[in-house]
Amino acid sequence: MSAAGALLAAPACAPQTIDARAIPPALSRRLGRVEYEPTWRAMQRFTEGRTPGTPDEIWFLEHPPVFTLGANASRAHLIAPGDIPVVQIDRGGQVTYHGPGQLVVYPLIDLKRLGLGIRDFVTALERAVIGLAAELGIAAEGRRSAPGVYVGGEKLASVGVRVRRNGSYHGLALNVALDLEPFARINPCGYQGLKMTQLAALGGPRSVWECADALEPHLRHALGLPAGGD
């Protein structure tokens, strides 16, 4: 079994008592291209089983083509999904698309331990992408009324999270170099006519994993996490 497969199949962490001062830095994992539903279930198991001493983890990955609907999303925003699977999940927000060429980041974070509220957490994810964009010479911004990161009115990254027992899961999706056509089959994030963009079209890199390496320090800084291990 691959390392990613073993992680996604792992049972929840057993309860234990750990001195918070001994907690190691958040672990970074590169999972490659993995199916959506097993990854979602693995996030749920990790969050359900974590204790106050469980180290945080940040998962960097891609998904095969899939549309995901938030817990209270309207299926009216699915215009013509065609042969792309649709999965209804437990994050907030409406509908979005994941596919090869998009960097997906799942920060599994104990928000209470970091002293972050949900809004602070979402803003930190946005700031990380904005910081990466600035490093690449791209002017990006967040919108308080519509979470995510935008460049010239077009959406570069989407954010959708769930918090349970102080632990976050789901996260952000950064468009790097992918086929944007599937976004025309939905109202992205519930907004009719919203245009999407990607780093490759803005002069940025085309490699998802190059972007993962470049984004990670911005993400750790925005969340207040020290440089981490793997």
Of the candidates 178, 186, 163, the one whose C-alpha atom is nearest the C-alpha of residue 73 is 186
**Cβ pair 135, 101 in contact under 8 A:** no
204 token code pair: 């940025």
**Cβ pair 70, 161 in contact under 8 A:** no
Q: Count the neighbouring beta carbons within 10 Å of the beta carbon of residue 198.
A: 22
- Selecting among 124, 161, 189, 214, the annotated active-site residue is 189
d(CA 167, CA 48) in angstroms, rounded, equals 8
180 token code pair: 């944007």
d(CA 175, CA 122) in angstroms, rounded, equals 17
* Geometric angle at alpha carbon 41, from 40 and 47, rounded to 5°: 95
d(CA 145, CA 122) in angstroms, rounded, equals 12
13 as an active site residue: the answer is no
Name the amino acid, one letter, at 97: Y
Q: Which residues are catalytic?
A: 189
